[in-house]
Amino acid sequence: MIDYNYHTHTFRCGHATGTEREYIEAAIACGIKVLGFSDHIIFEHKDEKSKEKFYDYIKTINELKEEYKDKIEIHLGFECEHSSDRVDYYKYLLKEKGIEYLILGQHFALDKKGEKLDLFENSNNRHKITKYYYKFVKKGLKSGLYSYLAHPDLFTREYIDIDKTYIKYARKVCNAAKKYNVPIEINLNGLYYKKTRNLPGLTYPCETFFKIAGDVGNDVMVGIDCHAPDLVTNADFEWAENIISKYNLHHITRLEFKK
């Protein structure tokens, strides 16, 4: 039985619904003992609105942490992309703002010319996106800033079938996570969309990717990546547990916080 989830969004990110309290109540109802909030990164210094959002997020979670301490263990984090110009800010969050952990969710990459490649925009350039995605993820893993790698197989979205490049880069991502000792996530939000929407092509979590992770010997964690409180209730933990046992993956059930 999976009793943790460190990948939770809230209404604050703009594309999720539900308050922190609603997520906590849903988590308690399904037997979750440890719940981590990892909303999309908020840049405190961007403008007044961001600053307000940033402090409100921290304050709300810290208050709820105290209020619910006898029922559930709550943690405060962010999901963020790696890029070299953000490293100082992320360090500041961890060292000075009481952010307990960061998870790496690389939703974009930049190519050689600095052009943005968006992993949510299905393009005809899957090999290029895969290559730059890996480049950014590898740097992120190496930085030591992140407690786990969310949806490591996000680039699967670009594919309609598995090809040699896919396999090559899946292995590279797994090898880098292994080398830098960062667990990779089986993302249940992707699974939910796969089951409920008629998506063209493949999407994550991709079984082939986790078969490779099994060969490499990766540590894995399961993340609901919930964008609505009822997605906590509907999380298909069984699917993840089957993948973990089928490919002999090493299941980490508590996150290690980087200092």
The separation between the first and the last C-alpha atoms of the chain, rounded to the nearest angstrom, is 29
| From 119-127, 162-170, 217-225, 240-248, span contacting Zn ion (CB under 5 A) | 217-225
- Residues whose CB is less than 8 angstroms from the CB of residue 24 and which lie 6 or more positions away in sequence, other chains included: 35, 64, 68, 72, 74
CB of 154 to Zn ion, least distance (A): 7
Residues 102-121 close enough to bind Zn ion by CB under 5 A: 105
- # residues near Zn ion by CB under 5 A: 3
| Residue whose CB is less far from Zn ion, 79 or 100 | 79
Based on CB atoms, which residue is closest to Zn ion, 95 or 184?
184
The residue within the footprint of Zn ion, chosen from 20, 39, 100, 225 (CB under 5 A), is: 225
153 forms part of the interface with Zn ion (CB under 5 A): no
In the bound complex, what is the minimum distance in angstroms from residue 187's beta carbon to Zn ion?
A: 8
Region binding Zn ion by CB under 5 A among candidate stretches 75-83, 115-123, 156-164, 239-247:
75-83
d(CA 147, CA 42): 18
Q: How far is the CB of 107 from Zn ion (least distance, A)?
A: 6
Residues 78-97 that bind Zn ion (CB under 5 A): 79
Between 18 and 105, CB nearer to Zn ion: 105
**Residue 223 CB, nearest approach to Zn ion (Å):** 8
Closest approach of Zn ion to the CB of residue 168, in Å: 23
Write down the least CB distance from residue 248 to Zn ion, Å.
26
CA–CA separation, 77 and 191 (whole Å): 23
Nearer to Zn ion, 47 or 230 (CB): 230
Residues in contact with Zn ion by the rule CB under 5 A: 79, 105, 225
